[in-house]
Amino acid sequence: GEDVEQSLFLSVREGDSSVINCTYTDSSSTYLYWYKQEPGAGLQLLTYIFSNMDMKQDQRLTVLLNKKDKHLSLRIADTQTGDSAIYFCAEKRDRGSTLGRLYFGRGTQLTVWP
């Protein structure tokens, strides 16, 4: 399909790990991003991964990329109540009329229970 797909909701208990999954559409996309959006706020860049990488770790965040399946995941270790937000996956398409555009998924609402 043409859309970046994400599951809409995820609930975890505080201290557990969270895994948010995303399927993107274009195998030629060069960069994949994870953004976080808190209520009433804009999008905050969490991390990104270049398409020739399989994994990227940044403190509590681990990004895994399966380019063959066009699957991206974000793992948050030791999830805290402050991590409750909407998480958006985005791909940067770099060909044709969509050159350089970011395409976002619908977002995954992460709820962390104390």
Partner 1 sequence: EAGVVQSPRYKIIEKKQPVAFWCNPISGHNTLYWYLQNLGQGPELLIRYENEEAVDDSQLPKDRFSAERLKGVDSTLKIQPAELGDSAVYLCASSPYSTSGTDTQYFGPGTRLTVL
Site for partner 1 in 53-72 (CB under 8 A): none
Query: Residue 75 CB, nearest distance to partner 1 (Å)?
Result: 21
Give the DSSP letter of residue 82. G
Torsion angle, CA of 52/45/8/85, rounded to 10 degrees? Answer: 150
Site for partner 1 contains 46 (CB under 8 A):
no
DSSP helix/strand/coil, 96: helix
Near partner 1 by CB under 8 A: residue from 40, 82, 96, 114: 40
Site for partner 1 in 14-33 (CB under 8 A): 30-31
Sign of CA dihedral 41, 39, 105, 91: positive
Sign of CA dihedral 17, 21, 27, 33: negative
Site for partner 1 contains 90 (CB under 8 A):
yes
Site for partner 1 contains 96 (CB under 8 A):
no
Site for partner 1 contains 43 (CB under 8 A):
yes
Site for partner 1 contains 45 (CB under 8 A):
yes
Strands 101-104, 85-93: pairing kind: antiparallel
Residues near partner 1, by CB under 8 A: 4, 30-31, 35, 40-45, 48, 50, 88, 90, 92, 97, 99-102, 104-107
